[in-house]
Amino acid sequence: MKKIIFVALITLMAAALLSSCQEKSDDIPKRKTAAASTVKPEESQKNKEEKEDSTILATNSTSVFNHETMKTASDGWASTESKLFSINDNLAVDVTPETKNESGSLLNYYALDENHIWLQDEKTLFHSDNKGEDWKNYSLPGEMPRVEQIQLSFVTPQIGWLLVHRGAAAGHTPFDVYYTNTGGEKWVLDNNTTERTKLSLPDTIDPNSLLFIDEHTGFLTGEGNTDNESVFYRTNDKGKTWAVPRINIPEGQIISVGKPQFINTQTGFVAITSVSGEKTSSILFQSNDKGASWNSLIKLNDEINAVFFLNSKLGFLAFTINGKQTLQKTTDGGRTWSVVNEDMKSPLISFHFVNEQEGFGIMDKDGYHAVTTKNGGHDWEDFKVDPES
């Protein structure tokens, strides 16, 4: 059956090419190349065939997207392990730039909005400001054979920060924080853990998330490496200095601080989970002063997987309780909670809503899969869209 469909597709494209007056409305946009600083798509028939086949396969197969960053109900971004798609009016366009990553997989991407996106290769940072139609490529800062992991956070198309992990050895996990006001073309080193100055962060911590909420205020969070160690730091000077905010972090053998989520520059939420032996507990905190101080909202005797607030009143909480994957919501800013779904088949490890009913997330179904809901979280299904024709 697949062979018949593929032959039919080739026949249709050949017919379109023979007719010079007919518009090529059934061509899937070609893959972009990153050989130059500004890249345009190549015009080869082979690329067209590969693009058509891979895009249709990706968007019509079950659970093919393993990550999504939808900005509205119909527009945003999604990716497989090796391809990046721009979603426009619920239609998918393959906009993957050609990278030099030997594994062929996408390492990381960050989308500011429907137009601006940054994509990481092992040594290169790609940037598009027109939904992936064109790409610019920049060298990642610093001298290193490769980058273990990076995290990006932008507050405007020009101003952003970059967290670069340098690997781990002998109990040390060195990392750097860089700043750009050129959209990623040039970077300035803000904080270097290897210098060991009084202004630098300790290189024994291992932050795995970076978030800035305005041009001055940002956060580094992650999981501690030793008993009672937490990774929760805040800056108010663009990343030059960092300090622990005012918060009563619970003790534990393992303390994990989630990535904060802010509904505006003042009000934010963060979940902290602690593990001691076989006991696991979590606390959801709220801040109303740009994250300078945090107050407890709710405590659970289990693990909080993810949290999202659409506004100051409506919020959702995904957690595991007695082995069940549960989603609850609040309509009064976290004072009371009600069950939305208490029998989800897989853990919802991250999610967000674009309105009260429509949301997107990532479920761990023996691997990450993008999912969506149309009824306020009561039901979740695989996130699939059609290829653009």
Neighbours of 67 (CB within 10 A): 19
Let me know: does 153 contact 110? Beta carbons within 8 Å: yes
What pLDDT, on a 0 to 100 scale, did the predictor assign at position 194?
58
Domain map (residue ranges) of the chain: 308-388
What pLDDT, on a 0 to 100 scale, did the predictor assign at position 365?
85
User: Tokens at residue 196, please?
Assistant: 């060991």
Please tell me the pTM assigned to this model: 0.80
What pLDDT, on a 0 to 100 scale, did the predictor assign at position 106?
67
CA distance 314 to 325: 20
Distances (CA, A) of 286 to 32, 128, 305, 373: 43, 34, 16, 26
What pLDDT, on a 0 to 100 scale, did the predictor assign at position 51?
39
Specify the 3-state DSSP secondary structure of 32: strand
149-154 β-sheet, strand order: 149-154, 160-165, 175-180, 188-192
Distance between terminal CA atoms of the chain? 21
Distances (CA, A) of 226 to 57, 138, 169, 171, 208: 45, 36, 15, 10, 16
Let me know: does 100 contact 93? Beta carbons within 8 Å: no
In order along its 389 residues, the chain shows pLDDT tens digits of 434 433 343 343 343 333 333 332 222 233 333 333 333 333 333 333 343 333 333 444 433 688 899 999 999 999 988 889 999 999 999 999 987 666 666 668 999 999 999 998 777 899 999 999 999 999 888 665 455 568 999 999 999 999 987 766 666 677 889 999 999 999 998 877 655 545 567 776 778 899 999 999 999 999 877 888 889 999 999 998 899 999 998 888 888 999 999 999 999 999 999 998 889 999 999 999 999 999 999 999 888 999 999 999 999 999 988 888 999 999 999 999 999 999 898 999 999 999 999 999 999 988 889 999 999 999 999 998 877 65
